[in-house]
Structure 1
Amino acid sequence: MSSTPAPVPPVATDDGDATDTDTGEAVLVLEDGRVFRGEAYGARGQTVGEAVFSTGMTGYQETLTDPSYHRQVVVMTAPHIGNTGVNTDDMESRRIWVAGYVVRDPAIRPSNWRSQGDLGQALDAAGVVGISGVDTRALTRHLRDRGAMRAGIFSGEAAQAPATELLRTVTDAPRMAGSALAAEVSTPEPYVVSPPEGTPTRFRVAALDLGIKGMTPAMLARRGIEVHVLPSRTTVEELLALEPDGVFFSNGPGDPATADHEVELLRRVLERRIPFFGICFGNQLLGRALGLSTYKLTFGHRGINQPVLDRETGKVEVTSHNHGFAIAWPDGIPTDRPAPSDFGPVRCSHIALNDDVVEGLSCEDVPAFSVQYHPEAAAGPHDAEYLFDRFVDLLDTNATQETPRAQT
C-alpha cells in the first residue's frame, strides 16, 4: 500500500540573516480599479486570481497548502505573518496552492523551535507572487463591501507597466463562477492511508480527492478506517470495485455547478445506500445530488473562527471555513423542517450564525450527511472533530443492518 505524497520541504534560511522581503515595488490591482501599493514578497513577477480574505490569526501554512485556495489571491487579515516560519509537518498537501499572497507585516526572521525555513523564501521557491506592506484592513473592508473579485499582483518589472494594462490583465482573467478546478488539484493516482500501527482496520472508505487536505484521511485512519484516496475523475465502476463500506467527498476549489461528473457519481452512491460523508465542496455536491442548487456568496467564509449551530445537539461550534459557494435552501432561510429532495427528506443540520448560510445536510431516507466546514481543523479549533465519529457510527449502523446494494 502506498501513502499520501510527501510534501515539498520548505526552504532553509541563512543563519542569523534577515530575510530579503523589503526590496522591490509591488502593486495590487482589483478588477474594480482599486489599487494598493506595497513591496514585493515571495516571487517577483505577476499573478491573477480571485481576491479573498482569511480571518485566521494562525495557521498560515495550512492555508497556503490548502488546495481549496487554488487560483485565489489570499489576503491575510492578521497583521503579522511568517513569525513561526514554515516546516514540513504543517504542509496539508504536496505544494503551496494560492495564486497570490497579500500580507501587511511579514516577519523579519522566523522564530520558533519547529521552524525549518522562512515563509518569504518558501513563497519565492514555489513561484508564488506576493505583496507586503498593504493596508489589509482597508483591503478587507473593500472586499466586504464590494465582494470577492478578480485581482492581480505585479512586482519587479511587471509593476512598471501602465495602470490600464495591469487592469486589463486582471479583467481578462477567468472568474471563479463557472470554473471547474477540482481535477486540477486532485491526486493523479489513487493511494491508501492505513490506520496507525496498533489500530485495527474496521472499515474501508473511498475518499474522492477534490482538493483534500492531508489531515482528513489521517483523522479517518485514526478511527480504524482504511482510506482509499481517489482522483476526482474516478468512475462509479472503479469506486465500487473497492467494495467500500463508505464514501467520502473532500473539500476543493471551484464552482460546484460545474462538477457534473462528481455529482452523478454521488447519485449512484446514494442509490446504493452506501454511507456518505462530505465536507465543504463535498457538502455542496451532496446538495446538488439531492436536487438542490448552489450559489456564489458575496465574499465567502474563510478563517478558523466561524460560529455554526449544530441543530441536532443545540451546540454552537467555532469552526474552520474556506468556501465561496453555498447551498440554496428551497424556502430561502433554512428552518429546522425537512425539505423534499430526489432521495427523500433532507434537513439543514447546521447553520451559520453570522448569515444563516446552510452549513450541513442530513438525509432521512439515505445514510448521508455533510458539513460545509472543515472538521479536521488544520489549522483551527477542534469543536467539529466529533463528525468523524458520527461517520464511524453511520458505518457501524449500516454494517449491522447489512443493507443490500444494487449491482453495477
Structure 2
Amino acid sequence: MKERLRRVGPIAMAIMRCLLLISCLFCSLASSLAAAPDRLSSRFCLVPIRGGTPTEKDFNDAWRMVSKVIMLPGVPRPVIYAYNRGGVWTIDDNRALVPFGGEFPSNPILDQIAHDPESGRVIGVNSAVGIFAMDPGQSLFRKLYGLSDTPLRHPNSVEFIPRFKGFVISDHTGLYLLDRAGALSPLPIADHATLGAPSRVFDLPAFDALVVNAQNSSAVVRYDGEVIHVATLDRFDFARGVNVEADGSVSIHGNRKTYTVRLSRESRKPIVQGRSFVVGEAPLHLSHTRLSAPSIGKTIAIRRSGLVELGSSGPIPIVLPFDAAREPIRAVTEIPEYRAVFILTAASAYALQDDGSVTEIPGARDVGVSRLGPLLGLIPVRNETIFLGRNRLNLLLDKRISGEAACDGAG
C-alpha cells in the first residue's frame, strides 16, 4: 500500500502542476480578451512624434517644445515656436518634428500672418525682415519684399480686406495695400499726423471704412484717405475687434473694456459686419462645465459623479469606463472632424461618440495628459491633432481618416 502511494505521489504532483499552469494561461488569456475590446472598439490612437521627446535644450520638459502653435489654413504643416530650443518647427509627412525652414516664420512676437480665403494665399510680415507669401501647394514662405526694397520700415500687422481684394499692412510710415498680384502700394492718407504710427486694422464694410489702432491708445477711422479720430482708449489699451450695432453705433472692443462711438456717416443697410482673416493660435476649446457638441448631437455637462447628457427630459448619466470619483474629469472638448468628444482626466483620455459609447484611447494612460492642456490643435488637411503628454509630443489619429495602418504599433 505504501509503495502504491509512493508511486501515485509524483504523478499527482505533476498533474497539479499542469492544472496550475493551465489555470495561469487561462487567466492571462481572459485578461487579454477583457482588454482587447477597448483597443478594438476605439477608432482613435496616439502615435509618438519622431523627435518629440524633449532634450537638454528643452530642459527635458516637453511643454517647452511648444510655446505657440499656429495652423495655417489649407497647409498641412503647423508652425511651432519653442520656448528654449530656438528656431521654428513643424511636423512633416513622416510625423517627425523638423525645422520649418526658410526665413519666415522666425519670431513668435514679430511674426504676423493673415490669409486670403478666396485665393488661399497666406501672407506673413515680420517687422525686422519684411513681407512673405505662401500660395496653395507650397510648403515654405517666399520673400516678396525686404525692408530695403520698399518704403516699409517696421511692418507690424497684416489683415486681408475683401473689399480691397488685398492685404492691408500697417507700418510706422503708414498703411499699404498688397494686392493679389503681389504689388505693394501706399493707401492714401490725408492726415498722417492723426494716423501717426498705425498698428492693427479692422474692416468696417457697413461704412466703407477701416478702424485703425493709432498711436497713444487712440482709434481712428479711414474713409477713402480721410482719417478721423473717433476714440481715445484708456492708457495702454487697444482695439481687439469692432462691430456695428443695430442702431448704427460702432462698438470698439478693447483689451479692457468696450467703447461705443457714432460716426458722421450713415451705415449701409442691411448692416454687414467685417471679418478678420488674421491667423493666430487656435487651440481646441476646453470646457470645464458644459459643452454643446453638434457633431455627435449632444450637449453634455461635467458633474462630480461623471458626465451627463442634457435633454428635454432632464440629465441622463453617461456610462463611463472609469470611476470619476477616483479619476476626476478635468475637461471635455469636441473635435468635429472626428465626430467625437474627448474626455480628459488627470490620468488618461477617452472618446465619447454619437452612439453614447465611451472608450479609453489606447496608449493615453501610458502617455499621460499634460496639465497645461494636451490638445494643441488640429493640423489642416491631415486632420491629425497634436497631443501633449506628460513628457512627449504625440499625434491623436482617427483611423477613419488616417487609416488602420497609421495606428499599428501605437500606444
Q: TM-score, normalised by structure 1?
A: 0.24
Instruction: Name which one, 1 or 2, has greater alpha-carbon Rg.
Output: 2
TM-score, normalised on structure 2? 0.24
Question: Per residue, is there more helix in 1 or in 2?
Answer: 1
